[in-house]
Structure 1
């Protein structure tokens, strides 16, 4: 093969490789790069989930991130309800009921809007973070220091942030 044929072959090969859709790993890395200072935590959380790591496109990635957020929000709310049984102070009760009801509802709402209304899905993903922030403020005001609840709120807040950036790529409407 002469040099011009070889150069043409390499050029064609590079065009084919560039036109291929991003792999799940690249989608995850691109998403986590947008998260900013939490990018390392983002990579740790997302790469630990095989469904997220194998996403083939933005819609699959959004759906998997939101499903993970919803699953963890429900588990977190159940945990808070158990804490509430042994420590029934108003701040913990509000976290377990009012604030985490909102978190679960926001993740569910965002998941339901993925294909219909990207802008609403994006908004719901963002407001899912309001619950953990409000819970943290309520606990601080009541002078309650519970590292497990703080860690839960931090994780849910991160998932909301990741979901916000993931859904930001969705079209406004189908």
Structure 2
């Protein structure tokens, strides 16, 4: 086992889902060459940025055909998810503590989206799945940025 594989495994063991975390890192070959937490943090924040933007686009498209209030709220909250992950990435060098905070806020925003859906009895499994993925990435980012602080 090389050092980067060990680094990924150490991080993933501390997240909300070891297996899903390993799968997320497997999807980006750069994680196999990360030699320290900072390099891995960049990968761990670029993955959710792309994912959150894709989810935001999905929700905004859905909103055109289904303009119910909870979906509007999810669109709003996903602006926050994207913004928080972006902010966390820019803070890696200057302020890892703020990066850690931002990464947690991204997960909170996805949670607010999920609450908005469930409180109105709206079931959109594709949004709920995306919220879960944000929660996973938030957990991964939290573990990694905590090592930088």
**Aligning the two structures, in what range does the TM-score lie when normalised by the shorter sequence?**
over 0.9
CA radius of gyration, larger in: 1
Which of the two has greater helix per residue? 2
* TM-score (ref. length: structure 1): 0.82
Q: In structure 2, what is the equivalent of residue 58 of structure 1?
A: 37
* TM-score (ref. length: structure 2): 0.95
Q: Distance in 2 between matches of 1:58 and 1:148?
A: 31
1:48 CA drift (Å):
2.0
Q: Which aligned runs of 4 or more in structure 1 are off by greater than 4 angstroms?
A: none
Q: How does 1:96-115 map to 2 (within 5 A)?
A: 96=75, 98-115=76-93
Q: In structure 2, what is the equivalent of residue 25 of structure 1?
A: 5
Q: Distance in 2 between matches of 1:140 and 1:42?
A: 26
RMSD: 1.1
Q: In structure 2, what is the equivalent of residue 16 of structure 1?
A: none
Q: How does 1:63-74 map to 2 (within 5 A)?
A: 63-74=42-53
Structure 2 gap ranges (5+): none
Structure 1 gap ranges (5+): 1-21
Q: Distance in 1 between matches of 2:19 and 2:28?
A: 15
Deviations 1:129-162 (A, max 9, x none): 0111000110011111111111011001100110
